[in-house]
Amino acid sequence: MKHFWKMLTIVLNVVPNPVGRLLTLYRREPAVETSFYTTTEGETVPMRIYHPAKLKNAPALVIYPGVTPAAEEHEAVNMLARATALAGVRTFLPRIPAMKEVFVREESIEHMINVYEAVEIREDIDKERIACAGMSFGGSLFIKACLDERLKNRPASVISYGSYFDIKESLQFVITGRCSDGKKEYVFEPHNWGRIVFFYNYLEYLDNPCNPENIRAYLLDQVANDGENEGELYASFPKEDRILIDKIVSDQSKESVEMVQQVMDKIENILLPLSPVQFIDEIDFPLYLIHGASDTMIPFTETVRFRRALEERGKEVHTFISTLYAHSEIEGHGKGPLGFISELWRMGRFIKMMLKPVL
C-alpha cells in the first residue's frame, strides 16, 4: 500500500490534473538546493537537488537531462524531480556540460559517471537504493556509462526515456521523418529541433560549411531563444551563410537530405560507439525503457527495436510506450476521460515496477 500511494503521488504530479493540484495543498514542498560535482577534468559543475521532507537517509534518483541549453533547469525534468521528492526520493538533476552546449559527445558519458560517483558517496542517501534515468539522448549515453567498471555497484534501476537504439537511424529520422520498428514503416513530421541539433553538432563535416561560428550562432538562437534574434543574426551574415541556413531549416528539402547523407558518410565512426546497437551484447542488467508514442524527435520505434533486440538475447527489459507523451511534452490521446484514466493507471503500474527498488 505504501508503494501504491508513492506511485500515485508521482503520477498525479507529472501529468496535469485537478487532483494533483489539490493534493499539493496538503503536502510540504521539497527543499531545492544547488550543489556541485567535480568532473574528471577538475571542473566544478552545478547539480540541483530536490530534498524530500523529513528524510535524512533517503533513496535517490538521478535524472540526466537531454541535449538542451536549459540543462538542470528544464521544466519537464524539474516537474518529475519535484514529484519524486514528494514521494520521498532525494532527486538529483546534474548539468552535463556538453549536453547543455547542445553537443552529443562521448565525453558526456564520463561526466555521467562523475555524477553517479558524487551521489553514491553522499551520507544523506541510501546507497542500496539509487535509480538513474537518462532523458532523450542522455538515456542511451547513461546505459553505456553503466558498462564502466567504476559503476560496479550499478543503480537499482536503469531507466531510459525517449532515447535511441541506433543513433544513426535517429538522426536520419529528424530529416526524413521515416522510421521503422523492424516490421512496420512509419512516417511522421519530424520536430524542427532535431534537424537543428544535427547540423549544430556536425556542421564541420559538410563539404562547404561556410563560417561555422555564424551558422552555429543562428542555430543556437533557434534552440535556446526560439529564434528571438534570428532576423538580426541572419541579416548580419554574408550571402553564403544565409544560403546554407536556408537549406538547413528547409523542411525535408532534397538539399537538406543530401547534406545529411554527406555528413553521415563521414561521422559513422563517431556515432557507432554511442549506439546501444553496437554494445547490446555487453548489457547484463535489467533496463526500463519509456517512450512517447507521439515523439517526433526520437521516434518510439527506437525503443521497440531496442526491446526486441534485448529479448532476442534473453536479456531482461521492460518497456512502456505512452500515448500521453511526445518527446518531453504532454500531447493528449483523444480517448476521453476513461481513456485518460486508463493511461494513468498503466503509467502508474510501470512507475511502480520501475521504481520499486527505491520506493
Taking 80 as the threshold, does the pLDDT of residue 218 lie above it?
yes
pLDDT at 332: 54
How confident is the model at residue 33, as a pLDDT? 96
Query: What pLDDT score does 62 carry?
Result: 98
Residues 6+ apart with CB under 8 A from 314: none
Q: Are 162 and 327 in contact (CB under 8 A)?
A: yes
Task: Pick the more confident residue, 126 or 348.
Answer: 126
DSSP state of 325: B
Is residue 7's pLDDT more than 70? no
Would you place residue 194 in the very low, low, confident or very high pLDDT band (cuts 50, 70, 90)?
Answer: confident
Structure confidence at residue 116 (pLDDT): 97
Question: d(Cα 325, Cα 134) in Å, to the nearest integer?
Answer: 16
Between the alpha carbon of residue 238 and those of residues 205, 214, 234, 242, the distances in Å are 20, 9, 9, 7
Of 3.10.20.30, 3.40.50.150, 3.20.20.70, 3.40.50.1820, the CATH number of 2-167+273-355 is: 3.40.50.1820
Quote the pLDDT of residue 110.
98
Q: At what angle do helices 192-202 and 212-225 cross, to 10 degrees?
A: 150
Reading the block at residue 316, the C-alpha cell is 531482461
Helices (H), the chain: 2-14, 18-23, 75-86, 97-100, 107-120, 137-145, 167-176, 192-202, 212-225, 230-236, 239-249, 254-271, 276-279, 301-312, 336-355
Which of 238-242, 275-279, 330-334 ranks highest by mean pLDDT?
Answer: 275-279
User: In terms of Cα–Cα distance, which of 195, 264, 252 is closest to 223?
Assistant: 195
Q: Is 327 exposed, middle or buried (0-12, 13-18, 19+ CB in 10 A)?
A: buried
Chain mean pLDDT for the chain: 87
Query: How does DSSP assign 336-352, residue by residue?
Result: HHHHHHHHHHHHHHHHH
Tens of pLDDT, residue by residue over 261-317, are 888 889 988 999 999 999 999 999 999 999 998 898 999 999 999 999 999 999 999
CA distance 86 to 14: 11
Please say if the pLDDT value at position 4 is more than 80: no
pLDDT at residue 227 greater than cutoff 80 = no
CB 318 within 8 A of CB 161: no
> Cell triple for residue 356?
520499486
| Residue 120 cell numbers, joined | 553514491
Length of the chain: 359
Please report, for residues 45, 47, 109, the alpha-carbon distance to residue 39 in angstroms, rounded to integers and kept in the order given.
7, 12, 11
Start-end of CATH 3.40.50.1820 domains in the chain: 2-167+273-355
A 10 A CB-CB count for 289 gives: 27
- The answer, as to whether pTM is greater than 0.75, is yes
* Predicted pLDDT of residue 335: 62
Give the least confident one: 219-223, 269-273, 304-308, 353-357.
Answer: 219-223
pLDDT at 259: 82
Q: Among 23-37, 50-64, 105-119, whose mean pLDDT is lowest? A: 23-37
pLDDT > 70: percent of the chain: 87
Over residues 56-96, the pLDDT tens digits come to: 889 999 999 999 899 999 998 998 999 899 888 999 999 99
Top-ranked range on mean pLDDT: pick from 44-58, 75-89, 115-129: 115-129
- At a CB cut-off of 8 Å and minimum separation 6, what does 225 contact? none
pLDDT at res. 327: 58
Q: Output the nine-digit C-alpha cell for 81.
A: 524531480
The confidence score (pLDDT) of residue 129 equals 94
- Parallel/antiparallel/unpaired status of strands 31-38 and 58-64: unpaired
